[in-house]
Amino acid sequence: MSKVSVIIPTFNNINGLSYLLNYFKDKPYQVIVVDNGKITQNLRLKAKQFIFLVQEKNLGFAKGINLGAKYANGEWMLILNDDIEFKIQNSKIKNQNEKNPIEFLVEYAEKNNLDAVTPILRNPDGTIENLGYKVLPYGRIKLVKEFASFRVNDLDGITAACLLIKTEVFKKLGGFDESFFAYLEDIDFFLRFKKAGFRFGIAPIEVLHRHMTTSKTMGSFKARQDMINWWRLYFKHPDKFKFNLQFLLERARNLSGYLKRLISNF
C-alpha cells in the first residue's frame, strides 16, 4: 500500500497528463487517472501500473475526484490538476528542484499536524497565483498573493489544483459536493472543512500551474458554472454572505460574463 494516492482528473489536456504520468512512472505512489474525455487509450498501453477510470461522459471535477477517492488506498490523497508541473525555473526557495515535492508536502503536513496542505502555486510568468483565498461577503473570492498579507488563520480555504489531504478526512466530509460539477466545489469543501475543525496550511515549496489549460478550450462553460455555483454557495453557506445590493450586483456581473462568452462563441 502506498502512503499517497494521486488522483488526476483529465478531460482534454493530453500533453499535461502525459507529463504527469511520465513524472510518476518511477514514483512509489498509487496513481488514479479519471479520464472524463476518453483521451487515454494510447497512454494506458504504456502505463499499465496506473489505474485508469475511463468515463463514457464527462463527470466533472467534483464527481471525478469522488470516484477516484473510492479507489484510494493511501493515508494521504494528492488531488492534482492535469496542468500542474513540478519543475520551477528561478525559484525563490532554496534547493526547490532537489526536493521531492510530494514527500515534502507529507512531511510538512505531519510535522505541523495539518489535515490538508497545498504548495505555493506559480504562474508560467513566475508570479504567485495564490497562497489561499478569502470568501468575501458579497460573493467573490479574494486570492491572497503576497506573503506580507498572508496569515493562514485568516484564510477561508486553499485551492484544490494541487491538494494533499488525509484520505479519511476527505471521506468523512463526504468529498466534494457533486452538484457543483466543476468550479467553486473546493470553496464549498473548505468552508465545510473549517467548520468541522480541521486544519490546513501552505507548504514552502512551489509548483507550476498552467491555469485554465482545459477551461479556455470550453467556451462559455466556466462562466456558466460560476454563475450557477455562486448561488449554490450562498444557499449552502448563508452565514458567509450578505444578501444585499452588492451581492446582487456581483451575481449580475456573473450573468453578464456568461452572456458575453456565449455571444462570442457564435
In the chain, which residue ranges form alpha helices assigned H by DSSP?
14-24, 41-46, 61-71, 101-111, 167-172, 185-195, 221-236, 245-264
Report the pLDDT value the prediction gives residue 118, as an integer from 0 to 100. Answer: 96
Report the pLDDT value the prediction gives residue 266, as an integer from 0 to 100. Answer: 62
DSSP-derived secondary structure for 171-192:
HHTTSS-GGG-SSSHHHHHHHH
Report the pLDDT value the prediction gives residue 87, as an integer from 0 to 100. Answer: 80
- Residue 116, strand partner residues: 165, 200
CA-CA-CA-CA torsion sign (124, 128, 133, 134) = negative
DSSP 195: H
Give the chain's count of helices (H) and strands (E).
8, 11
pTM as predicted: 0.91
Report the pLDDT value the prediction gives residue 218, as an integer from 0 to 100. Answer: 57
Report the pLDDT value the prediction gives residue 217, as an integer from 0 to 100. Answer: 52
What are the sequence ranges of the domains in the chain?
A: 4-212
Q: What residues of the chain score a pLDDT lower than 50?
A: none
Report the pLDDT value the prediction gives residue 93, as an integer from 0 to 100. Answer: 74
Q: Is 73 exposed, middle or buried (0-12, 13-18, 19+ CB in 10 A)?
A: exposed
> Is residue 209 a contact partner of residue 120, using CB atoms and an 8 Å limit?
no
* H helix or E strand, kind and range, residue 134: strand 133-136
Cα 124 from Cα 87, distance rounded (Å): 11
Cα 242 from Cα 159, distance rounded (Å): 23
Q: Give 83's Cβ-side CA count (13 Å radius).
A: 17
Q: Considering the domain 4-212 in this protein, what is its CATH number?
A: 3.90.550.60
> Is residue 4 a contact partner of residue 62, using CB atoms and an 8 Å limit?
no
Core vs surface per residue 159-194: b (16+ CB within 10 A) or e: bbbbbbbbbebbeebebbbbebbbbbbbbbbbbbbe
Q: Give 79's Cβ-side CA count (13 Å radius).
A: 25
